[in-house]
Amino acid sequence: MNRHAPFPDIPGEGGSALTEAGDRELLAAAAGGDRDAFAALYERHAGVVYRFCLGRLGEREAAADACQETFTAVWSAAPSYAGSGVVLAWILGIARRKAADQRRVSARQQAEPLPEGGDEIGSPAPAPAVEEAVDVWAAMGRLPEGQQEVVLLTYGLGLSCQEAGQALGVPAGTVKSRLHAARAALARALEGKAVQP
Protein backbone atom coordinates (compact mmCIF):
# COMPACT_ATOMS: atom_id res chain seq x y z
CA MET A 1 0.00 0.00 0.00
CA ASN A 2 1.28 3.45 -0.90
CA ARG A 3 0.81 5.54 2.23
CA HIS A 4 1.54 8.79 0.40
CA ALA A 5 -1.35 8.43 -2.05
CA PRO A 6 -4.83 9.69 -1.09
CA PHE A 7 -6.11 6.14 -1.46
CA PRO A 8 -4.32 2.78 -1.37
CA ASP A 9 -3.00 1.09 -4.50
CA ILE A 10 -5.45 -1.38 -5.93
CA PRO A 11 -4.27 -4.99 -6.13
CA GLY A 12 -5.55 -6.84 -9.16
CA GLU A 13 -6.68 -3.64 -10.89
CA GLY A 14 -7.70 -4.38 -14.45
CA GLY A 15 -10.67 -6.68 -13.97
CA SER A 16 -9.27 -10.23 -13.84
CA ALA A 17 -11.77 -13.06 -13.39
CA LEU A 18 -10.37 -13.80 -9.93
CA THR A 19 -10.77 -10.17 -8.85
CA GLU A 20 -14.31 -10.03 -10.27
CA ALA A 21 -15.35 -13.19 -8.38
CA GLY A 22 -13.93 -11.66 -5.21
CA ASP A 23 -15.73 -8.38 -5.89
CA ARG A 24 -19.07 -10.15 -6.25
CA GLU A 25 -18.53 -12.03 -2.99
CA LEU A 26 -17.51 -8.85 -1.17
CA LEU A 27 -20.49 -6.93 -2.53
CA ALA A 28 -22.88 -9.73 -1.58
CA ALA A 29 -21.44 -9.80 1.95
CA ALA A 30 -21.64 -5.99 2.18
CA ALA A 31 -25.27 -6.19 1.06
CA GLY A 32 -25.83 -8.40 4.09
CA GLY A 33 -24.31 -5.75 6.36
CA ASP A 34 -20.72 -7.06 6.54
CA ARG A 35 -18.67 -3.93 7.15
CA ASP A 36 -15.35 -5.76 6.77
CA ALA A 37 -16.36 -6.94 3.29
CA PHE A 38 -17.36 -3.40 2.39
CA ALA A 39 -14.02 -2.10 3.70
CA ALA A 40 -12.21 -4.66 1.54
CA LEU A 41 -14.24 -3.59 -1.51
CA TYR A 42 -13.37 0.02 -0.72
CA GLU A 43 -9.66 -0.84 -0.40
CA ARG A 44 -9.75 -2.52 -3.81
CA HIS A 45 -11.48 0.23 -5.75
CA ALA A 46 -11.30 3.58 -3.93
CA GLY A 47 -8.15 4.59 -5.82
CA VAL A 48 -9.75 3.96 -9.21
CA VAL A 49 -12.93 5.78 -8.21
CA TYR A 50 -10.94 8.73 -6.87
CA ARG A 51 -8.86 8.99 -10.06
CA PHE A 52 -12.02 8.82 -12.18
CA CYS A 53 -13.67 11.59 -10.12
CA LEU A 54 -10.48 13.67 -10.22
CA GLY A 55 -10.43 13.35 -14.00
CA ARG A 56 -14.05 14.47 -14.20
CA LEU A 57 -13.80 17.31 -11.65
CA GLY A 58 -10.18 18.49 -11.78
CA GLU A 59 -10.07 19.29 -8.05
CA ARG A 60 -8.73 16.96 -5.37
CA GLU A 61 -11.20 18.04 -2.69
CA ALA A 62 -14.22 17.72 -4.98
CA ALA A 63 -12.95 14.34 -6.21
CA ALA A 64 -12.50 13.10 -2.64
CA ASP A 65 -16.04 14.23 -1.79
CA ALA A 66 -17.46 12.51 -4.88
CA CYS A 67 -15.50 9.35 -4.07
CA GLN A 68 -16.84 9.34 -0.52
CA GLU A 69 -20.39 9.89 -1.76
CA THR A 70 -19.92 7.07 -4.26
CA PHE A 71 -19.01 4.54 -1.60
CA THR A 72 -21.82 5.75 0.65
CA ALA A 73 -24.17 5.05 -2.26
CA VAL A 74 -22.49 1.67 -2.91
CA TRP A 75 -23.16 0.68 0.71
CA SER A 76 -26.81 1.70 0.40
CA ALA A 77 -27.31 0.15 -3.06
CA ALA A 78 -25.39 -3.09 -2.48
CA PRO A 79 -28.59 -5.09 -1.77
CA SER A 80 -30.04 -3.97 -5.11
CA TYR A 81 -27.02 -5.02 -7.22
CA ALA A 82 -28.41 -7.37 -9.87
CA GLY A 83 -25.22 -9.40 -10.20
CA SER A 84 -24.79 -8.79 -13.92
CA GLY A 85 -21.72 -7.10 -15.27
CA VAL A 86 -18.48 -6.08 -13.64
CA VAL A 87 -18.73 -4.75 -10.08
CA LEU A 88 -16.13 -2.04 -10.70
CA ALA A 89 -18.07 -0.81 -13.74
CA TRP A 90 -21.23 -0.68 -11.60
CA ILE A 91 -19.34 1.34 -8.96
CA LEU A 92 -17.96 3.69 -11.63
CA GLY A 93 -21.48 4.25 -12.93
CA ILE A 94 -22.39 5.48 -9.46
CA ALA A 95 -19.19 7.58 -9.36
CA ARG A 96 -20.14 9.18 -12.67
CA ARG A 97 -23.45 10.38 -11.20
CA LYS A 98 -21.81 11.57 -7.98
CA ALA A 99 -19.15 13.51 -9.92
CA ALA A 100 -21.91 15.15 -11.98
CA ASP A 101 -23.71 16.07 -8.73
CA GLN A 102 -20.48 17.49 -7.33
CA ARG A 103 -19.92 19.52 -10.52
CA ARG A 104 -23.41 21.03 -10.18
CA VAL A 105 -22.72 21.97 -6.57
CA SER A 106 -19.39 23.56 -7.51
CA ALA A 107 -21.01 25.50 -10.36
CA ARG A 108 -23.53 27.01 -7.94
CA GLN A 109 -20.85 28.24 -5.59
CA GLN A 110 -19.48 31.66 -6.40
CA ALA A 111 -15.71 31.90 -6.85
CA GLU A 112 -14.16 34.54 -4.67
CA PRO A 113 -12.37 37.24 -6.65
CA LEU A 114 -8.61 37.56 -6.29
CA PRO A 115 -7.44 40.37 -4.05
CA GLU A 116 -6.57 43.48 -5.99
CA GLY A 117 -3.26 42.90 -7.74
CA GLY A 118 -3.39 39.20 -6.88
CA ASP A 119 -3.20 38.19 -10.50
CA GLU A 120 0.20 39.87 -10.79
CA ILE A 121 1.95 37.37 -8.54
CA GLY A 122 4.76 35.83 -10.56
CA SER A 123 5.56 32.15 -10.82
CA PRO A 124 8.35 30.27 -12.49
CA ALA A 125 7.85 29.16 -16.09
CA PRO A 126 6.60 25.58 -16.30
CA ALA A 127 8.79 22.82 -17.71
CA PRO A 128 8.03 21.72 -21.30
CA ALA A 129 6.47 18.44 -20.11
CA VAL A 130 4.15 20.40 -17.82
CA GLU A 131 3.17 22.70 -20.68
CA GLU A 132 2.41 19.65 -22.83
CA ALA A 133 0.29 18.09 -20.07
CA VAL A 134 -1.60 21.36 -19.64
CA ASP A 135 -2.28 21.41 -23.40
CA VAL A 136 -3.60 17.84 -23.28
CA TRP A 137 -5.86 18.56 -20.29
CA ALA A 138 -7.11 21.75 -21.92
CA ALA A 139 -7.90 19.82 -25.11
CA MET A 140 -9.62 17.12 -23.05
CA GLY A 141 -11.75 19.78 -21.41
CA ARG A 142 -13.05 20.87 -24.80
CA LEU A 143 -14.21 17.36 -25.74
CA PRO A 144 -17.89 16.50 -25.30
CA GLU A 145 -18.56 14.92 -21.91
CA GLY A 146 -19.18 11.45 -23.38
CA GLN A 147 -15.78 11.48 -25.08
CA GLN A 148 -14.02 12.72 -21.94
CA GLU A 149 -15.54 9.89 -19.94
CA VAL A 150 -14.49 7.11 -22.32
CA VAL A 151 -10.94 8.46 -22.48
CA LEU A 152 -10.74 8.58 -18.67
CA LEU A 153 -12.23 5.12 -18.24
CA THR A 154 -10.20 3.34 -20.92
CA TYR A 155 -6.87 5.17 -21.10
CA GLY A 156 -6.89 6.66 -17.61
CA LEU A 157 -8.23 3.70 -15.64
CA GLY A 158 -7.51 0.80 -17.98
CA LEU A 159 -11.07 -0.48 -18.35
CA SER A 160 -12.02 -2.44 -21.44
CA CYS A 161 -14.56 -0.95 -23.85
CA GLN A 162 -17.10 -3.45 -22.47
CA GLU A 163 -16.46 -2.38 -18.86
CA ALA A 164 -16.48 1.32 -19.76
CA GLY A 165 -19.77 0.79 -21.58
CA GLN A 166 -21.26 -0.84 -18.52
CA ALA A 167 -20.12 2.06 -16.32
CA LEU A 168 -21.64 4.58 -18.74
CA GLY A 169 -24.76 2.57 -19.60
CA VAL A 170 -23.92 2.40 -23.31
CA PRO A 171 -22.89 -0.44 -25.66
CA ALA A 172 -19.18 -1.23 -26.16
CA GLY A 173 -19.52 -0.10 -29.78
CA THR A 174 -20.56 3.36 -28.60
CA VAL A 175 -17.47 3.50 -26.38
CA LYS A 176 -15.29 2.58 -29.36
CA SER A 177 -16.83 5.23 -31.59
CA ARG A 178 -16.50 7.88 -28.86
CA LEU A 179 -12.86 6.89 -28.37
CA HIS A 180 -12.21 7.19 -32.09
CA ALA A 181 -13.81 10.64 -32.18
CA ALA A 182 -11.94 11.72 -29.04
CA ARG A 183 -8.55 10.62 -30.41
CA ALA A 184 -9.21 12.47 -33.67
CA ALA A 185 -10.32 15.63 -31.82
CA LEU A 186 -7.30 15.53 -29.48
CA ALA A 187 -4.93 15.02 -32.40
CA ARG A 188 -6.43 18.06 -34.17
CA ALA A 189 -6.32 20.17 -31.00
CA LEU A 190 -2.71 19.27 -30.25
CA GLU A 191 -1.44 19.50 -33.83
CA GLY A 192 1.45 21.91 -33.96
CA LYS A 193 1.63 22.12 -30.14
CA ALA A 194 4.18 19.34 -29.72
CA VAL A 195 7.00 20.37 -27.44
CA GLN A 196 10.16 21.08 -29.43
CA PRO A 197 13.48 19.87 -27.95
Integer CA distances (angstroms), 6 to 57, 67, 138, 172, in order: 16, 11, 24, 31
Here the CATH number for the domain that contains residue 165 is 1.10.10.10
40 pLDDT tier (thresholds 50, 70, 90): very high
Residues 26 and 92 in one domain: yes
Residues 104 and 135 in one domain: no
Residues 104 and 133 in one domain: no
Q: Does a structural domain hold residue 118? A: no
197 pLDDT tier (thresholds 50, 70, 90): very low
Look at residue 74 in the predicted model and tell me its pLDDT: 95
Q: Does a structural domain hold residue 115? A: no
**Mean per-residue pLDDT for 65-93?**
90
Residues 61 and 140 in one domain: no
Integer CA distances (angstroms), 143 to 58, 62, 65, in order: 15, 21, 24
d(CA 142, CA 144): 7
Here the CATH number for the domain that contains residue 92 is 1.10.1740.10
Residues 28 and 99 in one domain: yes
Weakest mean pLDDT among 23-37, 43-57, 151-165: 151-165
Model confidence, pTM: 0.61
Q: Which of 76, 109, 142 represents a domain boundary (last residue)?
A: 109
Chain center to CA of 154: 10
Q: Does a structural domain hold residue 147? A: yes
Expressed as residue numbers, the domain containing 145 is: 129-191
Residues 33 and 66 in one domain: yes
Domains in the chain, number:
2
Q: What's the mean pLDDT when you consider all of the chain?
A: 77
Q: Does a structural domain hold residue 86? A: yes
Weakest mean pLDDT among 23-32, 111-120, 163-172: 111-120
